[in-house]
Amino acid sequence: MSATVTTNEQREAFRQALRHTREERGWSQRRLAQEVGVSHSAIASWERGSNLPESANVVDLERALALEAGTLARLLGYMPLETMRREMRTVLDAIMADPDLGQRERDLLLAMYRELVRQRRAEREPGQAQAGEARSDEREQSS
């Protein structure tokens, strides 16, 4: 999670941008939730502005919605665009870029990776995880 304090204006801008982009794609909240690997209720609460996603979920939202890196993250003040671009080199990028994998293999690896990350997050005590820890883990796994 980001240590940044998000203003009401940032929250509203993010909420509107997320909903607008999802609707522009013709996707339901359930479809976006499946693409990102979160619950339908998480998408609904982000669009209502009652909760905000963690920075890792924002990256997943940007990928799923085919947005330029940092588009949604900047609205929340999570990190500068240049930092976001450096952090985009992850396991997910490696999986998608590997020409030896077919779509079935990519889908399987992505599902396995997201499940492993979800399990690791669930094991952590709230507040103990440092902001860069998950990204550091991803970079180590991709090399």
Express each pLDDT in 66-121 by its tens digit.
998 888 988 888 765 555 455 555 677 778 878 888 899 989 998 888 888 788 87
Task: Report all structural domains of the chain as residue ranges with CATH numbers, in order of start.
Answer: 7-79 (1.10.260.40), 89-143 (no CATH)
In the predicted structure, residue 138 carries a pLDDT above the cut 70: no
Q: Which residue has the higher pLDDT, 131 or 92?
A: 92
The reported pLDDT for the residue numbered 105 is 92
**Per-residue H/E/C for the chain:** CCCCCCCHHHHHHHHHHHHHHHHHCCCCHHHHHHHHCCCHHHHHHHHHCCCCCCHHHHHHHHHHCCCCCCHHHHHHCCCCHHHHHHHCCCHHHHHHHCCCCCHHHHHHHHHHHHHHHHHHHHHCCCCCCCCCHHHHHHHHHHC
Q: Please, are residues 54 and 1 in contact by the beta-carbon 8 Å criterion?
A: yes
